[in-house]
Amino acid sequence: MKSLAFCLLFSLLHYQQPAYTIGEVMRKARQLSSDSTTVKITGYITKKLDNNKYLFEDRTAEIRIDIDPQYLQHPVSDKEAVVIKALVQYEVNKPITLKVNQPVVNE
């Protein structure tokens, strides 16, 4: 009984957030937005668009992301893959965007 409880506790402590592609996020945007799910995506920050807005892409698509400066602690190259964790922002008749809510890390 103790070993079962330990296994359950261990699995909760080491919960791995599922990884998504941008294409998957775009297809499931309505659900992910309403669930307030943080998505984890590996890709490349390819272009700075505005103040805190960037273009982010992976092998499936590209999307606009909003990164608060506190989460982008070092400059990144468009040649190095990064992992972002973000909230999906979905509104009808508007582009889907991601709002980064954890530090951007190199892969």
Q: Is the dihedral of CA 98, 103, 106, 107 positive or negative?
A: negative
Q: Is residue 89 part of a domain?
A: yes
Instruction: Give me the number of domains the chain comprises.
Output: 1
pTM to 2 decimals?
A: 0.82
CA 53/CA 46 separation, integer angstroms: 11
In a domain, 40, yes or no: yes
In a domain, 9, yes or no: no
Q: With respect to residue 85, please indicate whether it lies within any of the assigned structural domains.
A: yes
- Report yes or no on 36 lying in a domain: yes
Tell me what percent of the residues of the chain surpass a pLDDT of 90: 72
Residue 8 belongs to a domain: no
Task: Kindly tell me the sign of the dihedral angle through the C-alpha atoms of 39, 44, 45, 47.
Answer: negative
Lowest-pLDDT choice from 7-16, 43-52, 70-79, 93-102:
7-16
Domain residues for 27?
A: 17-106
Q: Residue 12 has what pLDDT?
A: 47
Q: What is the pLDDT of residue 36?
A: 86
| In a domain? residue 22 | yes
pLDDT at 48 > cutoff 60: yes
